[in-house]
Structure 1
Amino acid sequence: MTRRTVSAGALVMAAALALAGCGGSDSGESGPELSVGAAYMPQPVSDSMAAGFLVVTNKGGDGDRLTSVTSDVAGEVTLHTTSGQAMSEADGLDVPAGGRLVLESGGDHLMFEKLKRRPKEGDRVSLELHFTKSGPIDVEMPVKSATYRPAASTKSHH
């Protein structure tokens, strides 16, 4: 009988330890911790497409990947990479652990295609970012002048 009590106690202890190990921050590792800033859309010069730029910051200890974007203003939003003068569609963009994904003019960016309406300067465009590991993030992207450029360049932080 004593042996059974010890075994039951050992099982309870093992189960408690196993459950304690399931906690995210207590285990010493953290998943992605994403935030979005510096979002803007230059006022589109076309009736059918527009570009979008933003910065996804990851303060977590695990990387993530931006896999898609949806917006009520466009039939489709695609991810693009730019290398030299060549632009190509991407199936996802990495957000490194402790780093940033910078989407900017002349670099990686969003393309809003099949516009349902042409956003004007001063408008706000709603979009939702979808990631491999993290939940979706809603973003309100202000529409700036067609020639707007952020004050500080983010190119050196790729």
Structure 2
Amino acid sequence: KEGRYQGDMDIGLTRVGFKQARLAAKYLSKVDFSNIYSSPLRRAIDTANIINKTRNLKIIARENLKEINFGKWEGMKFDQINMMFHDDYQNWLADPYNNCPTGGESFKQVKERAAAEIDNIVSENEDGSSVAVVTHGGVILSLLVHWLQIPICRWKII
């Protein structure tokens, strides 16, 4: 909304975020699952708690479900980043899947850690039970590109 990069900075849900979490909880209310896995970031844990309100399940926090690390760009406005880290920013804008924010990680790196974590979660729940996973937009985007085998040149349109 303000034109800032918010990655793995640990901030809580906004008013809109709480509304979205309540809608997600309502949508998932008829879905039976045995575990809730979540990013450890406060906004994800808050969402998991809202989903879990009537279930009383244990919420299992996993570091590898955290949002992308924007490094030195965390919390900065787009125009500030373009001024202070111009070359890195332009390279990242051209190919954020393979290029990293200054001191941060690429979406490819996010995909690698998140996909490995999802594989771990699947292994831990081999009995076929359903689970809920609460994570972030960048993680979800990276996993969709991977699972749906979307060509990298088209990933930004998702």
TM-score, length-scaled by structure 1: 0.21
Higher strand share: 1
So what's the TM-score if we normalise by structure 2?
A: 0.21
Give the helix-richer structure, 1 or 2: 2
